[in-house]
Structure 1
Amino acid sequence: MGLVSLENLRPGMVLASPLKAPDGRVMLGAGVEIKEGHIKMFRVWGIPWADVEGEEDQSIREEAQSREEALSAARDVVMRWFKPSHPLEEELFHLAVENAARRLLEEGALPPGWIPSPPKEQPKLNLGELGVGLPAMLHLVRQQVRLSSFPAIYFKLREVIDSPVSSAAKIAEVVSKDPALTVRLLRLVNSSYYGFPKRIDSIQRAVAIVGTNQLTALAMAVSAMGAFRGVPSSRMDVGAFWEHSVACAVTARVIAFTLKMPNEEQFFLSGLLHDIGRLVLFSKVPWVMKSLMEGALFEGVPTYVLEGRHLGFDHGRLGERLLKEWNIPDFIRVLVGGHHDPMGCDMPREASVVHLADAVALAMRWGSSGSSLTPPVDPAVPRMLELPPEGLPVVVSQAARQIAEIRRIFLI
Structure 2
Amino acid sequence: MSGSITLFDTAEGDLDEIAWRIREVSAIMPQLVMEIIRIINDPRSLAIELQVAVERDPSLAARLLRTANSAAYGLRRRVGTVRDAISYLGYNEVKNLAITASLADVFKTDATVGCYSRKGLWRHLVSVAAASRFVASRCGIRRFEEAYMAGLLHDFGLILMDQFLHKVFNDIVRAVASGRPLCECERQRLGFDHTQLGERVACHWNLPASTMAAIRYHHRADACESDSRPIAQAVEIADFLCSAKQRSAVGIGRVDSPSGSTFAALSIDRQGYTVLWDDLDRELVKADVLMALE
Q: Does the pair score TM above 0.5?
A: yes
- Give 1:339 deviation, angstroms: 0.6
- Give 1:254 deviation, angstroms: 0.8
- Residue aligned with 1:244, SS: helix
Measure the CA separation in 1 of the matches of 2:202 and 2:212. Answer: 6
The yes-or-no answer on 1:182 pairing with 2:83 is: no
The answer on whether the counterparts of 2:214 and 2:235 sit within 8 Å (CA) in structure 1 is yes
Correspondences of 1:285-304 after superposition (within 5 Å): 285-298=165-178, 300-304=179-183
Q: Which residue of 2 is the match for residue 334 of structure 1?
A: 213
Correspondences of 1:338-353 after superposition (within 5 Å): 338-347=217-226, 348-353=229-234
- Give 1:229 deviation, angstroms: 4.4
The structure-2 alpha-carbon separation of the partners of 1:223 and 1:355, relative to structure 1 and needing over 3 Å to count, comes to same
Q: Which residue of 2 is the match for residue 8 of structure 1?
A: none
Q: Which residue of 1 is the match for residue 97 of structure 2?
A: 218
The structure-2 alpha-carbon separation of the partners of 1:334 and 1:231, relative to structure 1 and needing over 3 Å to count, comes to farther
Measure the CA separation in 2 of the matches of 1:254 and 1:239. Answer: 23
Q: Which residue of 2 is the match for residue 239 of structure 1?
A: 119
The yes-or-no answer on 1:357 pairing with 2:238 is: yes
The structure-2 alpha-carbon separation of the partners of 1:205 and 1:350, relative to structure 1 and needing over 3 Å to count, comes to closer
Letter in 2 for 1:205: D
Which of these residues, 2, 13, 16, is aligned with residue 138 of structure 1? 16
- Give 1:277 deviation, angstroms: 0.5
Measure the CA separation in 1 of the matches of 2:258 and 2:46. Answer: 44
Measure the CA separation in 2 of the matches of 1:373 and 1:405. Answer: 21
The answer on whether the counterparts of 1:352 and 1:381 sit within 8 Å (CA) in structure 2 is yes
The structure-2 alpha-carbon separation of the partners of 1:398 and 1:178, relative to structure 1 and needing over 3 Å to count, comes to farther
Letter in 2 for 1:320: E
Measure the CA separation in 2 of the matches of 1:410 and 1:178. Answer: 20
- Residue aligned with 2:271, SS: helix
Which of these residues, 249, 252, 264, is aligned with residue 369 of structure 1? 249
- Residue aligned with 2:145, SS: helix
- Give 1:140 deviation, angstroms: 2.9
The structure-2 alpha-carbon separation of the partners of 1:225 and 1:144, relative to structure 1 and needing over 3 Å to count, comes to farther
Correspondences of 1:5-404 after superposition (within 5 Å): 129-131=10-12, 136-149=14-27, 150-161=29-40, 162=42, 164=44, 166-168=46-48, 170-192=49-71, 194-226=73-105, 228-229=106-107, 233=111, 237-298=117-178, 300-347=179-226, 348-366=229-247, 368-370=248-250, 372-379=252-259, 380-404=261-285
> Larger relative CO (CA 8 A, sep 6+): 1 or 2?
2
Letter in 1 for 2:24: R
Measure the CA separation in 1 of the matches of 2:206 and 2:267. Answer: 32
Measure the CA separation in 2 of the matches of 1:234 and 1:194. Answer: 32
The structure-2 alpha-carbon separation of the partners of 1:384 and 1:178, relative to structure 1 and needing over 3 Å to count, comes to same
Q: Runs of 4+ in structure 1 displaced over 6 angstroms?
A: none
- Give 1:396 deviation, angstroms: 2.7
Measure the CA separation in 2 of the matches of 1:209 and 1:393. Answer: 33
Measure the CA separation in 1 of the matches of 2:44 and 2:152. Answer: 30
- Give 1:373 deviation, angstroms: 4.2
Structure 1: 5+ residue stretches without partners? 1-126
The answer on whether the counterparts of 2:246 and 2:252 sit within 8 Å (CA) in structure 1 is no
- Give 1:204 deviation, angstroms: 1.0
Decide which moves more: 269-278 or 183-192.
183-192
Measure the CA separation in 1 of the matches of 2:233 and 2:174. Answer: 27
User: Which has more radius of gyration?
Assistant: 1
- TM-score under structure 2 length normalisation: 0.84
Letter in 2 for 1:301: R
What CA deviation, in whole Å up to 9, does each residue of 1:261-314 have, x standing for no partner?
02223211111111110111111222222222222332x232122112332221
- TM-score under structure 1 length normalisation: 0.62
Structure 2: 5+ residue stretches without partners? 1-7
Letter in 2 for 1:296: V
- Residue aligned with 1:139, SS: helix
What CA deviation, in whole Å up to 9, does each residue of 1:143-198 have, x standing for no partner?
33222232111232245453746234x43222122234323322332234543333
Letter in 1 for 2:219: H
Letter in 2 for 1:202: T
- Residue aligned with 2:256, SS: coil
The answer on whether the counterparts of 1:246 and 1:406 sit within 8 Å (CA) in structure 2 is yes
Measure the CA separation in 2 of the matches of 1:201 and 1:232. Answer: 32
The answer on whether the counterparts of 2:72 and 2:290 sit within 8 Å (CA) in structure 1 is no
Measure the CA separation in 2 of the matches of 1:239 and 1:251. Answer: 18
Measure the CA separation in 2 of the matches of 1:386 and 1:308. Answer: 33
Measure the CA separation in 1 of the matches of 2:111 and 2:86. Answer: 34
